[in-house]
Amino acid sequence: MHEPSSRSVPDAATGNRYDRMEWAGAFGDLGTLIPFVAAYIGVLKLDPFGVLFGFGLCMLACGLYYKTPIPVQPMKAIGAVAVTQAAQTALVTPGAVYAAALATGAIWLFLGLSGAATRLSRAVPPAVVLGITLGLGFGFMLEGVKMMHNDWPIAAIAGLGTLLLMANRTFPAMFVLLAFGAAVGLWRQPHLLHELAQAPVGLPSPRFALSELGWNELMVGVALLALPQVPLTLGNAVIAIKDENNRLFPHRPVTENGLATSTGIMNLVSSTAGGVPMCHGAGGMAGHVAFGARTGGAVVILGVILLALALFFSSGVALLFQVFPLAILGVILFLTGAQLALGSSVLPADKNERYITLATAALCMWNVAAGFVAGLLLHWMAKRRWIRM
């Protein structure tokens, strides 16, 4: 894997770039973005305009403000619970998703502006932070393998070609990977090209999504979706992303309070536009960086593309997502996970701390919130010498 060297890092200090590598890196987070957005639109029947507009606007703002590849991602725990419950029962509705984004925004805006986010983060030991990042990396790799295994010939060709081009600045790996994926998808489903050509193009009417909220949707959104996500967000979208950004881009450091505040603002904006709960995430940054991004230009580029899709092509976005085979998204996710895990490969010297890191990582491959809580508990037990390795 090609990892940014200290020589390439200062570019982020001078401002955003929009060269071919930033364009390639812009698509490095599609492995998580497309499946969740497609599920929200396909299963929960959310309006594609609101979902894409929320993501696009927040990406544009974050790229211009942070000037490093700070990603904007769907909150995974909320997304998984919402889609699963919606498929099985009528408990979770689009209104409940908007309520979850509203509650999430209020929580993180308070934690950021009050300074509580930094105080909470300082209570988390380095071994647990390292375990979260390592576990996320391996979890992404495992999920990527699952997405690839039913289409292994395409995955093998795509994966090998991408690895050979990872450090190539003339032919960025992501462009080749997406072109190959689109060619395979259209070859297998030629009707998609005709359907995409027939999709209407036009400006949708804006609406205020929160006007649809009732008390039942508010309760479901807060209790079932928003509150269980808080530990995961603290671990991955505040602590881990701060550590990842400041390691890769020390000339443009971020703080826990700043990240919490931007998470709050993003979700308040998203909830009013009919979008979904979103956050920053170390995995998303690893994806952008792995495919060439070194500044916030990559995030700006993806944000502008999503805004354009929302404003002019929202009715055809579900068809567009079908073009890319699942195996191609799996390759992106696998390489993103490898990039993230490589940055966390130096284990602590102390044996007890190594155990805490590995145990946290193992649990985070299954559930980040569970790994986060378990890591804190193990650290507390080790400090009291209840466990010794």
Residue 153 in domain? yes
Report yes or no: 372 and 128 within 8 Å, Cβ to Cβ.
yes
Look at residue 5 in the predicted model and tell me its pLDDT.
42
Q: Above 80 in pLDDT, residue 257?
A: yes
SS3 label, residue 9: helix
Dist CA 5 CA 203 (whole Å) = 43
Task: Read off the pLDDT of residues 156-213 as tens digits, 9 standing for 90 and up.
Answer: 999 999 888 877 777 788 888 989 999 999 999 988 888 888 777 767 766 777 776 7
Model pTM? 0.82
Burial of 175 (0-12, 13-18, 19+ CB in 10 A): middle
Residue 4 in domain? no
Look at residue 170 in the predicted model and tell me its pLDDT.
76
Among 2, 8, 1, 12, CA closest to 251: 12
Q: How confident is the model at residue 326 (pLDDT cuts 50, 70, 90)?
A: confident
Report yes or no: 348 and 126 within 8 Å, Cβ to Cβ.
yes
Residue 2 in domain? no
Look at residue 8 in the predicted model and tell me its pLDDT.
45
Residue 379 in domain? no
Domain, as residue range, for 220:
9-124+148-234+247-325
Instruction: Classify each residue of 338-365 as buried b or exposed e, where b means 16 or more C-beta atoms within 10 Å of its C-beta.
Output: bbbbebbeebbeeebbbbbbbbbbbbbb
Element (DSSP H or E) covering residue 357: helix 351-364
Long-range CB pairs of 168-171 (<8 Å, 24+ gap) are 169/20, 169/21, 169/292
Report yes or no: 81 and 97 within 8 Å, Cβ to Cβ.
no
Q: What residues have CB less than 8 Å from 151, skipping those under 6 apart?
A: 325, 326, 327
Among 382, 304, 374, 317, CA closest to 348: 382
Residue 314 in domain? yes
Look at residue 83 in the predicted model and tell me its pLDDT.
67
Q: Above 60 in pLDDT, residue 6?
A: no
Amino acid at 314: S
Residue 333 in domain? no
Which of 123-132, 187-196, 298-307, 321-330 has the highest mean predicted lDDT (pLDDT)? 298-307
Which of 119-123, 232-236, 252-256, 346-350 has the highest mean predicted lDDT (pLDDT)? 252-256
Look at residue 258 in the predicted model and tell me its pLDDT.
96
Residue 166 in domain? yes
Please tell me what DSSP assigns to residue 350. Answer: S
Give the alpha-carbon dihedral of 143, 304, 101, 373, to 10 degrees.
Answer: 40
CA distances from 140 to 105, 128, 157, 184 (A): 26, 18, 20, 23
Q: Above 70 in pLDDT, residue 232?
A: yes
Dist CA 369 CA 375 (whole Å) = 10
Report the pLDDT averaged over residues 79-104. 77
Task: Read off the pLDDT of residues 55-70 as tens digits, 9 standing for 90 and up.
Answer: 999 999 999 999 999 9
Q: How many structural domains are present in the chain?
A: 1
